[in-house]
Amino acid sequence: MAIKVAICDDVPVLAKAIEELLLEYDSSLFEIDIFYDPLRFIEFLKGNTYDLFILDIEFPTRSGIEIAETIRQNNYTCPIIFITSFKEYMEKAFKVNTFDYIVKPVTKENLYPALNRAIKYLDIDDSKFMFTFNKVFYSLSFREIIYFEKNKRRVLIHTPSDTYETMLPTRALLSKVNDNFVQVHTSFIVNVRYIKQISHNTIVANLNDKQTVEIPMSRKFIEPARKQILMKLRDLI
């Protein structure tokens, strides 16, 4: 499965240089689109999305931060890597859930470690969570699923854009998910990628760029769950 990458930089020679570095990294891994005009790119994003974004921050008409804000309206978890000449943008950049931040010039030495992390984060090889409800078949990427909510055999599957339902016992559900999911309560199994905060007996997870949800951790699961979550988060950073 190829990673769909969008590069947005109004300096064509710089955008092409980033593309060449990506192709040199692995020419078979990436599908790359280049955009030179941030306004046209924002319009294009209304009906399209990518797995990975590499954005310049400084444009004459629009900042890369504004592009990221548009991306985050529909895609809260995709990696965004900012390219800039100035470190003073760093604080604003991380407010839009920036994955990484590279100060020009872009080289193998500063881009490839960010790509390594992004590829690991995207978990490109992960399989789908497949289920049926009311005789309709569904297939969701594990990356789309924030958490599962159990009530006996009934399972609610929460994603950033929708909630699905199926019937499945807990043991069968746990056997189907990948190792980014941690059971924190008899009724809740959470994707660690969405976890924002861990407190004494609750987890706060991101639903989107503006909303979060508080998920309880039960006494039975709290210690092993906290250890699993911290280990997984360390692996993803």
Residue pLDDT tens, the chain, 237 long: 689 999 999 999 999 999 999 999 998 889 999 999 999 999 999 888 899 999 998 888 888 888 988 888 877 778 999 998 766 555 555 555 667 888 889 999 999 999 988 887 786 655 689 999 888 999 888 888 999 999 988 999 999 889 999 999 999 999 999 888 999 999 999 999 899 888 889 999 988 777 899 999 999 999 999 888 888 776 655
Q: Are 198 and 143 in a shared domain? A: yes
Q: 88: domain CATH number?
A: 3.40.50.2300
Q: Are 200 and 99 in a shared domain? A: no
- pTM strictly above 0.75: no
Alpha-carbon gap, residue 2 to 127, rounded angstroms = 14
Domain of 8, in residue numbers: 3-122
Q: Under DSSP, is residue 206 helix (H, G, I), strand (E, B) or coil?
A: strand
Token pair for residue 165?
């339902």
Q: 190: domain CATH number?
A: 2.40.50.1020
Q: Are 148 and 216 in a shared domain? A: yes
Q: How far is CA 123 from the centre of its chain?
A: 10
